[in-house]
Amino acid sequence: MSQFQFELHHRDASTMARRGVFLTPHGPVQTPGFMPVGTQGTVKGLTIDQVAATGAHMILGNTYHLALRPGHQTVRKLGGLHGMSGWEGPILTDSGGFQIFSLDSINEVTEEAATFRSHIDGAIIRLTPEHSIEIQESLGSDVAMVLDHVVALPAPDDQVEAAMARSIRWAKRCLEAANRPQQALFAIVQGGLNEALRVQCATELAAMNFTGYAVGGLSVGEAPSEMYRITAATTPALPELKPRYLMGVGRPVDLLESVARGIDLFDCVMPTRNGRNGLAFTDQGPLKLRNAIHREDTNPIDPSCPCLACRHSRGYLRHLFNAGEMLGPILLSHHNLTYYQKIMAEARLAIEQNRFETYLRERKIGWGME
């Protein structure tokens, strides 16, 4: 029997939202779920215990960055990502495919490989699908992602189709290269903003029987409505009894809108990046703690929130940011990750109770979006 199992417990009555559990060797992941991003083997600014206290079940690491520094063989000798970081729960690693998009000024893509110049020292890095899997096996993550070809949007249809077809061929190569039973492999659906290409890609990848499936190449500058349209068109073409992961998304509203369209897993740097810049997510919308209105405010961000930041006043948090104290970004990162886990927990309960559509509307009203 596989060490990985996806249990689909309930489908919401009025949306495509699903309530499930993804079982891994390092424990269960409740879905819908959000994975904090730990690019360099750490969720920036937080200890592992602090990350766990937010309610996170699974975290994400970055293959490209860890391969550069400290090097995947070094990570392996330090006990893999689990041993090195001290995180005892499940870990997912991306493949380096996003860097094909984000570092496009310093890379070249051929059928065989993507070739990069390191953003650290300019050294040449050649990343094939096989090497991406080798790196991720050294990292020891529970879930490895196939190497895919991401293109910036908008793009000509022929360019999008060529990248999609290459992504399918690379997925097959990754599947053939993988030989670590304790590591699941997720495929990535590409196809830009073309619904037909997305369905074609999803159908071909589904036939290869991966453990899970991701929707990639979105949240790269297109309008949210376009992301929602493509997600809604793609998920029905994916296997129902496999987890579905929307990569790199996003705002709280994007998470909930995508849950309504059948997505189970998410990751994004937004909660920690915004936290480092003084913005807190709340049920009433974003709160900019640097603003003068908070100067003498004795209230916490949210009196019902159990995070580290909400033990303090808004006035104190504003002071920390204005004084350049590192505690400010730490506290707000902890708050935002706790908030993301809160809305995921609320979403799971709403699905179980067949009221997800009502829950989404309530949240959007609170955020000032309806």
Same domain for 260 and 340, yes or no, is: no
Separation in Å, CA 361 to CA 13, 40, 259, 357: 15, 36, 13, 6
Smallest CA-to-CA distance from 274 within 262, 260, 290 is with: 290
302 is catalytic: no
Map residue 366 onto helix, strand or coil. Answer: helix
Ramachandran sector of residue 41 (left: φ over 0; alpha: ψ -120 to 50; beta: rest): left
254 is catalytic: no
Range from 120-124, 267-271, 333-337, 366-370 carrying the lowest mean pLDDT: 120-124
pLDDT of 1 higher than 60: no
Same domain for 184 and 328, yes or no, is: no
pLDDT class of 107 with cuts at 50, 70, 90: confident
Considering 142, 254, 264, 267, which one is annotated as catalytic? 267
Lookup: tokens for 233: 């068109």
Average per-residue pLDDT in the chain? Answer: 95
pLDDT of 36 higher than 80: yes
List, for residues 177-186, the tens digit of each pLDDT value: 999 999 999 9
On whether the CB atoms of residues 52 and 89 are closer than 8 A, the answer is yes
Q: What is the pLDDT of residue 116?
A: 79
Same domain for 327 and 237, yes or no, is: no
Same domain for 254 and 315, yes or no, is: no
DSSP string of 211-265, one letter each residue: SEEEE-S-SSSS-HHHHHHHHHHHGGGS-TTS-EEETTB-SHHHHHHHHTTT--E
Lookup: tokens for 223: 């309008």
Final residue belonging to a domain, choices 268, 289, 321: 268
Same domain for 225 and 90, yes or no, is: yes
pLDDT class of 354 with cuts at 50, 70, 90: very high
List, for residues 221-237, the tens digit of each pLDDT value: 899 999 999 999 999 99
Q: What is the pLDDT of residue 221?
A: 84
Range of the domain at 298: 276-370
Residue type, 148: D
Domain count, the chain: 2
Same domain for 248 and 281, yes or no, is: no
Q: What is the pLDDT of residue 120?
A: 81
Same domain for 320 and 255, yes or no, is: no
Considering 94, 142, 148, 264, which one is annotated as catalytic? 94
Same domain for 47 and 134, yes or no, is: yes
Same domain for 256 and 118, yes or no, is: yes
pLDDT of 99 higher than 90: no
Q: What is the pLDDT of residue 343?
A: 98
**How far is it between the farthest Cα atoms of the chain?**
61
Q: What is the pLDDT of residue 100?
A: 66
List, for residues 258-270, the tens digit of each pLDDT value: 999 999 999 999 9
Q: What pTM does this model have?
A: 0.96
Average pLDDT, integer, range 232-255: 97
Q: What gap in Å lies between CA 142 and CA 91, rounded to an integer?
A: 5
Final residue belonging to a domain, choices 268, 286, 312: 268
Same domain for 166 and 185, yes or no, is: yes
Same domain for 128 and 253, yes or no, is: yes
On whether the CB atoms of residues 213 and 173 are closer than 8 A, the answer is no
Final residue belonging to a domain, choices 231, 252, 268: 268
Would you tell me how many other CB atoms lie within 10 Å of the CB of residue 190?
30
User: What CATH number did the domain enclosing 156 receive?
Assistant: 3.20.20.105
Map residue 37 onto helix, strand or coil. Answer: strand
First-to-last alpha carbon distance for the chain, in angstroms, is 47
Same domain for 318 and 345, yes or no, is: yes
pLDDT class of 214 with cuts at 50, 70, 90: very high
